[in-house]
Chains A and B, each alone.
Chain A
Amino acid sequence: AQSVTQPDIHITVSEGASLELRCNYSYGATPYLFWYVQSPGQGLQLLLKYFSGDTLVQGIKGFEAEFKRSQSSFNLRKPSVHWSDAAEYFCAVGVPLGGKSTFGDGTTLTVKP
């Protein structure tokens, strides 16, 4: 079975600073990888996804993520954080044949003015 680890429970960055949220996965083959964002009291919104091909994927709101097979990682990055980016971020892994997605425990992002 697949698993996802988000090592950082809480990250605080200053507005305008760069951001990197870490995600490590465990799966025997190349998984499908996702990043979702959740604002307080809301559902999750898809930021970006990786299925195959180019290992650097672009998403919405200026986010990008890089798939590194050798490190089993799919870290989320943003060059300049905005106050509105403060939220909970979830990394998820899916498997072929439409299996269930597995979510990490989430990273809470706080943005300082």
Chain B
Amino acid sequence: GAVVSQHPSWVICKSGTSVKIECRSLDFQATTMFWYRQFPKQSLMLMATSNEGSKATYEQGVEKDKFLINHASLTLSTLTVTSAHPEDSSFYICSARVGTSGPGANVLTFGAGSRLTVL
């Protein structure tokens, strides 16, 4: 159980266009999802916390107008990279909280990631 599907797994786009990445919880409801960015050989950098039905909470230094997050249902969060530029090329990963309370709320299930290349 607790599977998170992330789509697309890779995408190539032209500079100036927008790209949407989807993160779905397949067999559970995820009120909270997280979006990360990972550079090669580096750790995960938390970009934002996505809460169902409310605005996302962005980490310091992350441009909320550039990285639009929508969490309109309990099973789907989307990250849209607007007006993408080559420096936005990266590996983007989402995760979802499996539990809703107690220590289990800290257990995360991750998507397989999305490789974005902006030409």
Residues of A within 8 A of B49 (CB): 100
Whether A32 contacts B106 in the complex (CB less than 8 A), given A44-B95, A100-B49, comes out as yes
The number of inter-chain residue pairs (CB within 8 angstroms) is: 56
Tell me if B97 and A45 are in contact (CB < 8 A).
no
A106–B32 alpha-carbon span in the complex (Å):
24
A84-113 with Cβ < 8 A to chain B: 90, 94-96, 98-101, 103-106, 108
Whether A45 contacts B110 in the complex (CB less than 8 A), given A32-B103, A98-B105, A100-B49, comes out as yes
B34, B43, B109, B115: which has the most chain A beta carbons within 10 Å?
Answer: B43
A4 to chain B, nearest CB (A): 9
Residues of A within 8 A of B44 (CB): 44, 90, 103
Q: Does B108 contact A (CB under 8 A)?
A: yes
Chain B binding surface SS class: strand
Interface range on chain B (Cβ under 8 Å from partner)? 20 to 34
Tell me if A103 and B43 are in contact (CB < 8 A).
yes
Q: Report B's interface with A, CB cutoff 8 A.
A: 4, 6, 32, 34, 41-44, 46, 49, 91, 93, 95, 97, 101, 103, 105-113, 115
